[in-house]
Amino acid sequence: MNIKIVFYVLGGLLRLLGLLMIVPLGVAYYYGESLTPFLVSIVITVLTGLILLSYKTDEDWMRKEGFAIVALGWLAVAVFGAIPFMLDGISPLNSLFEAMSAFTTTGSTILTDIESHPKGILFWRSMMQWLGGMGIIVLFIAVLPKFGVAGRQLFRAEAPGPTEDKLKPRIRETAKILWMVYFVISFAEVVALLLAGLSLYDAITHTFTTMACGGFSPYGTSIEAFRSPLVEYIITFFMFVSGANFALHYRAIYVDKDFLLKDDEFRFYTALTLAATGLLTLLLYRDINTGFFDSFRLAIFQVVSIMTTTGFATADFNFWSDSAKMVLLLIMFVGGCAGSTGGGIKVVRILMLLRHGRVELFKSLHPRAIRGVKFNNKNVPDEVINSIFSFVVIYLFIFMSSALILAVLGMDIITSTTASIATLGNIGPGLNVVGPMGTFDPIPPLGKLILIANMWIGRLEVYTVIVLFTPEFWNK
């Protein structure tokens, strides 16, 4: 692997990150807060980027460089993005946890008194989620000179999965289109929240974290702080939109308005959301003292929030019945659609596994029959199915391993289990200690490091990070 290429691209990424910190610097200046955390962070980040840019080389890229750049790039932006938190008085480990949670759009937090932190810091916390939502590498490709084949390698490494959307032949054009759609829908949500009565600051910060399926809020009680059904429904709608494939949004706008409804994954995504919402509505109506429509409002918000891995909350579901919490726990393993800002295993993988199971069941009755898995009326190659099986096995192994480590460190079984899946699936809140109104701060230091790794691995869908730890990767 050519380390000079890796350093050079990371340098450009850090320089871009440093320049983006000017935005929260302006917010801090507007509210009369200390500018030191961002001024120092900008200088350190930009200078480091310029130093790494001195490693410029014209040598050709290999696939290994693409994996290394993406995996180390996400780690680097989390490390340097954590500097403002450290200068705000948060410990280095907790700062890294918060920054990794932000960039990976996880939404798990170690902050125990969120409102006590400066607005500039909280704005940066939300902005990091928005940047990480569509992908910092995708942004990098979109705003910098074209990379050609190398850019496609980066694009694939950052957003791996069973499907790949190429909206334009040139990968830079695809990256621009995805960010354009992302920005336009974000602008629409800001306007909607302003019309619903939120301040500009609240509208922007919550739009950042809604569109990214991130879930950070400047308030400790999350969306419940507004006590507004209208705000809840607006955010529910945009969470659902963000949990769908953004390439489909583009095609639905510019190619065929019915494109979304024709897509197998989107239809299954909608069906799962409606089914979980209906079941949870009935459970809440039965178990808590509230009307049917209030039960529906609580249910649809929390189902969409967890399903899309956003992690917002309008109630402390730690106090719901076990059956209601089980609904939420199950959809934690699903996640959003491929090509969305959501995390998790992804709807398309779940759908293909179910269809594969149906095919195998049919073959058990008709051994000589020839039938394969289809997706959008096209046959799915066996290697794709095998890749999905491998992904799910590794994903579940990491989940169980991290949950076991947390349990050994002294956390109870529910906290250990849900903290593990909440970070690996980039969901945010779990249950018990790490519930929606709780914090990850009580997790021991080693446990926090495990969960930081979970967030990093989960955001890049396992392979891009795990491959760095294989001997074959470093062999020539």
- Please write the tens of the pLDDT for every residue from 17-53: 999 999 999 999 999 999 999 999 999 999 999 999 8
What pLDDT shows up at residue 156?
56
What pLDDT shows up at residue 166?
54
CA trace torsion 448, 450, 455, 456 (10° rounding): 120
Average pLDDT over residues 400-418: 95
Residue linked to tokens 């969306």:
223
CA trace torsion 199, 205, 207, 208 (10° rounding): 160
- Phi and psi at residue 378, to the nearest 5°: -120, 145
CB 68 within 8 A of CB 107: no
**pLDDT tens digits, residue range 367-376?**
777 777 888 8
Q: Which of 101-105, 262-266, 272-276, 391-395 shows the lowest mean pLDDT across its residues?
A: 262-266
Average pLDDT over residues 141-153: 51
- Say whether pLDDT at 148 is over 60: no
Q: Which two tokens stand for residue 240?
A: 């659902």
Q: How far apart are CA 232 and CA 244, in angstroms?
A: 19
A 10 A CB-CB count for 288 gives 15
Q: How far apart are CA 394 and CA 364, in angstroms?
A: 27
**pLDDT tens digits, residue range 179-226?**
888 899 999 999 999 999 999 999 999 999 999 999 999 998 899 999
Task: Spell out the long-range contacts of 232-235 with Cβ–Cβ below 8 A and sequence spacing 24 or more.
Answer: 232/297, 232/301, 232/314, 233/297, 234/189, 234/192, 234/193, 234/196, 235/189, 235/193, 235/206, 235/210, 235/301, 235/312
Percent of residues, the chain, with pLDDT higher than 70: 91
Q: Which two tokens stand for residue 379?
A: 């046959």
- Say whether pLDDT at 473 is over 80: no
Q: How far apart are CA 311 and CA 295, in angstroms?
A: 18
- Say whether pLDDT at 139 is over 90: no
Q: How far apart are CA 299 and CA 324, in angstroms?
A: 9
What pLDDT shows up at residue 181?
86
Band (pLDDT 50/70/90 cuts) for residue 269 is very high
What pLDDT shows up at residue 378?
85
Percent of residues, the chain, with pLDDT higher than 90: 58
What pLDDT shows up at residue 68?
85
Task: Evaluate if pTM is beyond 0.85.
Answer: yes
Q: 462's torsion region: left (phi>0), alpha (psi -120 to 50) or beta?
A: left
**pLDDT tens digits, residue range 64-100?**
877 888 889 999 999 999 999 999 999 999 999 999 9
- Angle, CA of 204, 419 and 316, to the nearest 5°: 60
